[in-house]
């Protein structure tokens, strides 16, 4: 009889010995255990086949993300795009890569299994992102909190590795500004573009979402003091405090001064009495919590120098403004580098104001990068005759944006 009958009798030694009532060697139980083991192995192979196939698709998806997705997402984000839109831009290329890998029907029944693989990848990304948070739980918390990541599209390129630094994008909070334009001077020629520049910047800051933007034009010394005092109170509860001044300025004995429209400055010692020290301007903004920005388009050719009497020949009265070193967290921007002159321009706005207004409209442009581009624009527009310059330093852990989308 066949061995597969389970308990059959054989006249020769069998692979599975069995014992019968006639004395032949039989053992049904050992045979049953072997057969059951073989059946279980066969069933396990059948069950693992779809899982292996799914793993193969997921591995192919990750490979496509790395090969064609990341080269799209990386440059897109460096150009100012947000993570969600950059991933969406890479999605068609990743989908085409998957179709090329598996053929025309390689995605298998639509995008269902591809979406499941993408969801699995997002889950792994979340676990990776949570790991540093668990490790840092026992450390003192940072003062700035990173913004939540945007939603990931259903078919996502490779996940972006969480940054290793603590830089935080700062666009919100309470932002206030004081904008001053002095054009109609009583004792020297008029500066027509100063008031135009101030009006244009006032509109631009309002459109950028500043909660308070105060515009002041043609201020006498007393009015200028009052304007700074009132703005200091507004800045007390602000995160950003911005002061923009367009008009005449002067450097005297290493200090910088703003010149009101009623100043005469017949003698150099009158500068202290009739002008406003730049220190008062910085004091008006100093209570802002995160950013203090002072922009001075006051380096124009100064007509007061030609008519001013010097009391001591060695006292320094030079063209332009003097170099300055503000405290950390404060940025001072000159329309022209210290010791150099700024042009008033032939149109309705100065070259510096035109470049600044243009760059303020650009979203996702960090403030330090913004003024670097303003410098380049002015150098180009003036054939390198005027170079704007920035002084001071801002927090390395924060990025500041006038406009973000």
Residue 10: CB atoms within 10 Å: 17
181/111 same-domain check: no
- pLDDT value, residue 78: 63
User: Rounded to whole angstroms, how far apart are CA atoms 393 and 142?
Assistant: 20
> Is 31 contained in some domain?
no
pLDDT in tens, 4-49: 444 444 444 444 454 444 444 446 677 777 778 888 877 777 665 5
- pLDDT value, residue 4: 46
> Is 213 contained in some domain?
yes
User: Rounded to whole angstroms, how far apart are CA atoms 112 and 106?
Assistant: 12
> Is 216 contained in some domain?
yes
386/242 same-domain check: yes
201/97 same-domain check: no
90/206 same-domain check: no
Tokens found for residue 76: 């897109």
Q: Which whole number is the average pLDDT over 255-268?
A: 93
Query: Which sign, positive or negative, has the C-alpha torsion 9, 10, 11, 13?
Result: negative
337/248 same-domain check: yes
Q: Is the pLDDT of residue 340 over 90?
A: no
pLDDT in tens, 263-284: 999 998 899 999 999 999 999 9
> Is 81 contained in some domain?
yes
pLDDT in tens, 299-322: 777 788 877 887 755 445 566 788
103/184 same-domain check: no
CA dihedral 306, 309, 315, 321 (to 10 degrees): -40
Confidence of residue 258 (pLDDT cuts 50, 70, 90): very high
350/237 same-domain check: yes
Domain that holds residue 218: 173-400
177/113 same-domain check: no
Q: Which whole number is the average pLDDT over 200-208?
A: 96
> Is 379 contained in some domain?
yes
The CATH code of the domain that includes 269 is 3.40.50.1460
Confidence of residue 88 (pLDDT cuts 50, 70, 90): confident
234/360 same-domain check: yes
pLDDT in tens, 36-82: 888 887 777 766 555 555 567 777 777 787 777 777 866 776 666 66
* The model's pTM: 0.58
Boundary of a domain, candidates 90, 117, 144: 117
CA distances from residue 101 to 61, 63, 319, 326 in whole angstroms, order as listed: 9, 10, 69, 59
Which comes out higher in pLDDT, residue 344 or 394?
A: 394
Tokens found for residue 164: 């290793």
Q: Is the pLDDT of residue 246 over 80?
A: yes
112/178 same-domain check: no
321/393 same-domain check: yes
> Is 101 contained in some domain?
yes
Average pLDDT, the chain: 77
Query: Which sign, positive or negative, has the C-alpha torsion 360, 184, 386, 327?
Result: negative
CA dihedral 139, 144, 145, 147 (to 10 degrees): -150
> Is 245 contained in some domain?
yes
> Is 66 contained in some domain?
yes
82/198 same-domain check: no
Give the least confident one: 104-108, 200-204, 275-279, 380-384: 104-108
Boundary of a domain, candidates 102, 117, 132: 117
Domains of the chain: total? 2
């Amino acid at each position: 009889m066949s061995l597969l009958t389970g308990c059959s009798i054989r006249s020769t030694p069998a692979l599975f010995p069995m014992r019968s009532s006639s004395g032949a060697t039989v053992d049904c139980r050992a045979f049953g255990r072997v057969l059951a083991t073989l059946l279980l192995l066969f069933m396990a192979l059948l069950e693992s086949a779809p899982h292996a196939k799914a793993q193969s698709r997921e591995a192919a998806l990750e490979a496509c993300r790395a090969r064609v997705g990341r080269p799209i997402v990386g440059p897109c984000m460096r150009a100012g795009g947000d993570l969600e839109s950059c991933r969406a831009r890479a999605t068609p290329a990743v989908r085409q890569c998957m179709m090329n890998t598996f053929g025309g029907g390689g995605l298998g029944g639509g995008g269902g299994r591809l979406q499941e693989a993408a969801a699995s990848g997002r889950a792994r990304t979340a676990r990776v992102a949570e790991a540093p948070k668990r490790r840092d739980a026992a450390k003192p918390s940072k003062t700035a909190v990173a913004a939540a990541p945007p939603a990931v599209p259903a078919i996502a390129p490779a996940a972006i590795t969480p940054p290793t630094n603590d830089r935080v994008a700062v666009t919100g909070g309470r932002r206030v500004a004081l904008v001053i334009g002095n054009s109609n001077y009583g004792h020297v020629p008029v500066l027509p573009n100063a008031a135009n520049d101030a009006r244009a910047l006032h509109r631009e800051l309002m459109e950028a979402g500043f909660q308070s933007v105060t515009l002041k034009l043609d201020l006498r010394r007393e009015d200028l003091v009052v304007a700074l005092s009132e703005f200091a109170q507004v800045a007390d509860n602000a995160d950003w405090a911005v002061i923009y001044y367009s008009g005449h300025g002067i450097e005297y004995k290493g200090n910088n001064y703003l010149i009101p429209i009623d100043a005469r400055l017949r003698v150099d010692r009158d500068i202290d009495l009739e002008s406003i020290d730049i220190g008062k301007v910085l004091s008006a903004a100093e209570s802002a919590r995160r950013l203090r920005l002072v922009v001075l388009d006051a380096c124009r050719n100064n007509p007061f120098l030609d008519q001013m009497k010097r009391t001591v020949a060695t006292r320094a009265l030079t063209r332009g403004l003097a170099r300055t070193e503000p405290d950390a967290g404060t940025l001072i921007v000159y329309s022209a580098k210290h010791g150099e002159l700024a042009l008033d321009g032939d149109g309705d706005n100065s070259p510096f104001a035109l470049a600044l207004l243009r760059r303020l409209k650009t979203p996702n442009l960090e403030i330090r990068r913004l003024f670097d581009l303003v410098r380049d624009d002015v150098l180009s527009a003036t054939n390198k005759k005027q170079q704007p310059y920035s002084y001071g330093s801002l927090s390395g852990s924060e990025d500041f944006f006038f406009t973000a989308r």
